[in-house]
Amino acid sequence: MPMILKFETLTREAFAPFGDVVEAVDSVHHFTINAGNTERYHDLAHLAVDDKGHLIASILRGQPRELPFTIQEMERHPKASQLFMPLSGRAYLVVVAARDAQPAVKDLQAFLCSSNQGVNYAPGVWHHPLLALDKASDFLVVDRAGPGENCDVVQLSEAAIIPVLD
Amino acid sequence: MPMILKFETLTREAFAPFGDVVEAVDSVHHFTINAGNTERYHDLAHLAVDDKGHLIASILRGQPRELPFTIQEMERHPKASQLFMPLSGRAYLVVVAARDAQPAVKDLQAFLCSSNQGVNYAPGVWHHPLLALDKASDFLVVDRAGPGENCDVVQLSEAAIIPVLD
């Protein structure tokens, strides 16, 4: 029997083992600039890159996943962090597993992310590729360019299912 | 008589002297990833930072400017680029001037940016602080943290006016 994933609401605390939540909320460090016009929610992600690479900005346009959806593989980027910020005003899903071992289905953790929340995967954190919902959705992505392989992919020995969401 | 600014549509070509336009359009380098699910519009901005600083990601929430609005000062960041990506689905304005001299009103160039277009100011490019329209608007910003002063501000000797837009 494949495991049915349970999704939890994305919070900074719950996601801390995997990286950062990028959102403008009162609980993060913020201050006023531009003569009172603008509130700056400051330095929300640990952007990391190895010495040989550099950070780049791209836009990823993901087609919506059809639910139920089967999770069969996970990937990780050992040389840099990877930030996804939603641009299309739609919720999306994140499925991650802790950094250390080969991930198994029991290690997966699943988050429902609101349209105002970005995520920044720390280097080496296993995650499923983009899981957009409902319609094609754009994300600003900050990740790495540079020499060397920076994407490990692993097949899960058992599948996990993203159910139709309530 | 203050000068009334004329706004042009933001294009990569027109903005090239000032930095990059960050948008997912056919004319930029793009390719398919994630087993066909995702189109990646790749490396859309020249993110630049001096050796002593590093890039950070923040969210800036700008209150809408009331039009007509008077432009009286400009700023620049000599040590790094600064990327603004709109998150709230609203158009916004950009006013820039070429890098070299102290900007004068005659040097200003004004762009109307769509909700799908980000801008990345090259290091040292004079620009006006955030010019949101209509409602409070969030932007993902990638700029610099690190030692040393990284914001020059100059008062314009004459004012320029952003008129009520058609």
Name chain A contacts of B19, Cβ cutoff 8 Å: none
Count of positions (residues) in chain A: 166
Please report which confidence band the pLDDT of residue A102 belongs to, taking 50, 70 and 90 as the band edges.
confident
Top residue of B30, B58, B75, B120 to mutate, by most chain A CBs within 10 Å, is B58
Nearest to A85 by CA among A138, A19, A123, A133: A138
Which tokens go with B37? 């699910």
Q: Could you tell me the pLDDT band of residue B101, with boundaries at 50, 70 and 90? A: confident
Give the A window 123-142 contacts with B, CB below 8 Å.
129-130, 138, 140-142
Contact B62 A34 (CB under 8 A): yes
CB pairs under 8 A between A and B: 128
Give A120's contacts in chain B (Cβ within 8 Å): 57
What is the Cα–Cα distance from A113 to A83, expressed in whole angstroms? Answer: 14
Residue of B nearest to A120 (CA): B57
What confidence score (pLDDT) does residue A99 get? 72
Nearest CA among A97, A77, A89, A86 for reference residue A144: A77
Q: Do B58 and A41 touch (CB under 8 A)?
A: yes
Note whether B126 and B74 are within 8 A (CB): yes
- Complex confidence, ipTM: 0.97
On the question of pLDDT at A108 being above 90, the answer is: yes
Supply the pLDDT for residue A130. Answer: 98
* Three-class DSSP labels, chain A: CCEECCEEECCHHHHCCCEEEECCCCCCCEEEEHHHCEEEECCCCCCCECCCCEEEEEEEEECECCCCEEEEEEEECCCECEEEEECCCCCEEEEEECCCCCCCHHHCEEEEECCCCEEEECCCCEECCCEECCCCEEEEEEEEECCCCCCEEEEEEEEEEECCCC
Q: Percentage of chain B surpassing pLDDT 90?
A: 95
Predicted confidence at residue A110, as pLDDT, reads 98
The tens digit of pLDDT for each residue in B61-93 reads 999 999 999 999 999 999 999 999 999 999 999
Q: What is residue B58's three-state secondary structure?
A: strand
pLDDT band at B1 (very low <50, low <70, confident <90, very high): confident
Residues A102, A12: contact at Cβ < 8 Å?
Answer: no
Instruction: Find out whether A39 and A31 touch, Cβ atoms under 8 Å.
Output: yes
CA distance B74 to B104: 10
Asked whether the predicted pLDDT for residue A101 surpasses 90, the reply is: no
Q: Is A48 within 8 Å of chain B by CB?
A: no
The pLDDT assigned to B146 comes to 98
Token reading at A38 = 């603008």
